[in-house]
């Protein structure tokens, strides 16, 4: 059964439908060797390429999946690295169709919670600023934190790409007492490049460790080894979809026997 190319590629994990439309308009998508057209209907047997690379199409809509991955320092959130460094994609489970999409990015020196999904539209909504999903981090900071600095970080600091601030900033678990390095818990609702580090650096403070512990309603929790993952639970999926205005597809009612 043929479907519109935007829907098929989104379900294949290429990108959201809107992003697929942009790829088509830029001439980066081909079907059976010919440039793709917006709204074009294709089937699972068609040969589709994006930027010259073949896309594996699912013969039927694959179930939506989300992985909760515990990233290590030193791992890259990229599919391929020219230098051969370790990436988060190397151990992920195989998909029948489509591919895993990382929800946002964590730089090489940041560890903690990373979400991955095979649903392009879900990935788009989880990162889009309009949904204002909270990201929470545990941050070890070197330097003196004064009430004046705290106030600035809460109210807003001008960075090179605009104003930024923490929605919340409060002391973390400082088991070692009042040393030079102190832990803080911070929350913000956007994912600009290195934003947490840059906010602290703007006040002359140095981040010596950065861990993402929550993304929207999902928490890192315990029980996952660094560099490994788990599939999220049905209740977690429900709360995640609700946070971005999506729903699970309705299940067909079971036939009654007798």
In a domain, 41, yes or no: yes
Q: Which residue has the tokens 């947490």?
A: 196
**Are residues 124 and 140 located together in one domain of the fold?**
no
Regions of the chain with pLDDT less than 70: 1, 58-61, 97, 175-179, 249-258
Handedness of CA 96, 101, 103, 105 (dihedral sign): positive
pLDDT of res. 252: 47
pLDDT of res. 45: 84
pLDDT for 198-235, tens place per residue? 999 999 999 999 999 999 999 998 888 999 999 999 99
**Are residues 158 and 99 located together in one domain of the fold?**
no
Q: Which domain holds residue 85?
A: 66-128+239-243
pLDDT for 135-149, tens place per residue? 999 999 998 889 999
**Are residues 118 and 138 located together in one domain of the fold?**
no
pLDDT of res. 213: 96
In a domain, 224, yes or no: no
- CB 124 within 8 Å of CB 18: yes
In a domain, 40, yes or no: yes
pLDDT of res. 258: 36
**Are residues 73 and 144 located together in one domain of the fold?**
no
pLDDT of res. 187: 97
Nearest-CA neighbor of 67 among 103, 111, 110, 106?
A: 103
- CB 1 within 8 Å of CB 47: no
Last residue of a domain, one of 54, 79, 94: 54
If one counts the domains in the chain, the total is 3
- pTM for the whole thing? 0.76
Tokens of 107: 């730089």
Reply yes or no on whether 173 is catalytic. Answer: no
> What CATH number has the domain bearing residue 162?
3.30.2350.10
- List the catalytic residue out of 51, 81, 107, 161: 107
């Amino acid at each position: 059964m043929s479907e519109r190319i935007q829907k098929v590629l989104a379900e294949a994990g290429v990108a959201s439908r809107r992003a697929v439309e942009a790829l088509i308009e830029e001439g980066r998508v081909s079907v059976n060797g010919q440039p793709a057209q917006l709204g074009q209907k294709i089937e699972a047997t068609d040969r589709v390429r994006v930027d010259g690379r073949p896309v594996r199409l699912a013969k039927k809509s694959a179930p939506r999946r989300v992985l909760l991955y515990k990233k290590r320092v030193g791992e890259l959130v990229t599919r391929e690295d020219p230098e051969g460094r370790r990436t988060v994609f190397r151990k992920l489970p195989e998909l029948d169709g489509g591919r895993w999409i990382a929800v946002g990015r964590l730089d090489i020196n940041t560890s903690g919670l990373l979400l991955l999904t095979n649903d392009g539209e879900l990935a788009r909504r989880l990162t889009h600023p309009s949904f204002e999903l909270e990201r929470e981090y545990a941050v070890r900071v070197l330097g003196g934190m004064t009430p004046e600095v705290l106030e600035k970080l809460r109210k807003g600091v001008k960075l090179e790409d605009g104003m930024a601030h923490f929605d919340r900033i409060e002391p973390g678990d400082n088991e070692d007492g009042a040393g030079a390095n102190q832990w803080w818990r911070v929350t913000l609702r956007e994912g600009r490049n290195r934003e947490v580090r840059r906010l602290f650096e703007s006040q002359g403070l140095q981040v010596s460790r950065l861990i993402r512990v929550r993304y929207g309603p999902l928490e890192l929790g315990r029980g996952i080894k660094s560099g490994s993952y788990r599939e999220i639970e049905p209740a977690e999926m429900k709360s995640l979809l609700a946070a971005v205005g999506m729903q699970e597809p309705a299940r067909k009612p079971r036939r009654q026997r007798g």
